[in-house]
Chain A
């Protein structure tokens, strides 16, 4: 295998948010960083997100949520990932995430939380540094 292959990232918008400008900005930034970004649009259910992550065999899932439903939706996504035996995918979150929720979000296994104003470089570096390294080699 070539020593570098494009990192594949699912950018997902769960919940009922009406717009996805932030997610599009992230998707575009990741693209410009050489990643392949699967973008699925707004109003995704946890089931859709997990199914897309499986079929697309992504290295990372970035979920963005603005509406405040994160404490209902994130646990469901993490639970479905576990049920499906998906244990090698980096999960991070963005959007409007109140500070007091962040410890609980991280305790779910969501490795990064990025609020409004986060420089896109920070997210790119985070993804590069935290995806499971054996995913990029010849892991079967």
Chain B
């Protein structure tokens, strides 16, 4: 069989699908493949779509994809839905809204479960995007889990972030809170055919007017004025304007040099995440599940404390040099 990477690069969709599976499961060859794919990626415009559950992310994404197809783009979609904290299973339902896109060979949709990640994406979302990027999809849309106020991971994965709000979801105090509203490059007020949409637009505009940079930015440099756009996807209203704005944002990122600086910020957090992941794996190898159980019992019965246990584990996986000062009689050896 031809090398999986070559098949992917030549446009074989099954090869891409299998690659995503390998990446998602962190299987041994995935890192090697990703290292190779990294060289071929970097062309795609990566668009994040985030917002509260039910805000209309999937519907909006579907209409944006349709408009992009009218513009003859080859579009990738990664749609993340939550993993059950109890069973580890998930119901991935974003394809329901995207039904009309099925069967178009220039659209590749992949549903992913969050698998315990809390930032609105799954741990491997960025790598999956990289694989789609290398396979020639551009743009690539990342649809996050329905988010609250603090799931901002998408800003580290996407170049242009759309924050979708539906009318009637909260008052203006919600809007000046820190967090998700800060990461928007474009605000989208969805379901604009519903009552209250204009009020939501006004509240978001008020929030934006409080940004001192809006008046005081350096006029000689490119400046992105965050727009608030209304869409009514089922009536196909506002979608062309939104896609225009997304493309303008991309141009702004290039002109201002922000594309490169954002990319570097993202790469940094990516390398950090890889290191953290390696540490977690080292910990898993060092401490089998049964030993964990015993430790947890010791800590919950107050025989031991979390801090010294954490310190000792850091020594055991080589993160800290042993000081040799731990009072073994008090803490007792592990295992």
Question: With an 8 A cutoff between CB atoms, is A30 at the interface?
Answer: yes
What's the interface size class on A, roughly? 35 or more
B103 near A48 with CB under 8 A, answer: yes
Interface readout for A10-35 with B: 1 if CB under 8 Å, 0 if not? 00000000000000000110111111
Question: With an 8 A cutoff between CB atoms, is B28 at the interface?
Answer: yes
A38 near B92 with CB under 8 A, answer: yes
A31 to B21: give the CA distance in the assembly, Å.
18
B21 near A37 with CB under 8 A, answer: no
What chain B residues lie within 8 Å of A47 (beta carbons)? 102-103
Question: How many A-B residue contacts, CB cutoff 8 Å?
Answer: 100
B89 near A30 with CB under 8 A, answer: yes
A8 to B110: give the CA distance in the assembly, Å.
12
Tally of chain B residues near chain A (CB < 8 A): 36
Instruction: Report A21 CB to chain B, min CB distance, Å.
Output: 14
Interface readout for A118-140 with B: 1 if CB under 8 Å, 0 if not? 00000000000000000000101
What chain A residues lie within 8 Å of B108 (beta carbons)? 55
What chain B residues lie within 8 Å of A34 (beta carbons)? 87-89
Question: With an 8 A cutoff between CB atoms, is B195 at the interface?
Answer: no
User: Which chain B residues (73-126) contact chain A, with CB distance < 8 Å?
Assistant: 83-84, 86-93, 95-96, 99, 102-103, 108-111, 113, 115
From A2, A5, A40, A45, B96 is in contact (CB under 8 Å) with: A40
From B13, B28, B111, B115, A38 is in contact (CB under 8 Å) with: B111
Contacts A84-B14, A140-B4 given; indicate if A41 touches B87 (C-beta within 8 A).
no
Instruction: Report A20 CB to chain B, min CB distance, Å.
Output: 10
From A33, A43, A55, A85, B87 is in contact (CB under 8 Å) with: A33
Name the residue of chain A whose CB is nearest to the CB of B93: A39
Instruction: Report A29 CB to chain B, min CB distance, Å.
Output: 9
B102 near A48 with CB under 8 A, answer: yes
- Could you name 12 residue pairs across A and B whose Cβ atoms are closer than 8 Å? A1-B27, A5-B25, A6-B113, A27-B91, A31-B87, A34-B87, A34-B89, A39-B95, A40-B96, A41-B96, A44-B102, A56-B110
Residues of A within 8 A of B (CB): 1-2, 5-6, 8, 27-28, 30-41, 43-45, 47-48, 51-52, 54-57, 84-86, 138, 140
Taking A41-B99, A54-B13 as known contacts, 20 extra A-B pairs with beta carbons closer than 8 A to each other, sorted by chain A number, are: A1-B25, A1-B26, A1-B27, A5-B25, A31-B90, A31-B91, A36-B89, A36-B113, A38-B92, A39-B93, A40-B95, A40-B99, A41-B95, A44-B102, A45-B103, A56-B110, A56-B111, A84-B14, A140-B4, A140-B29
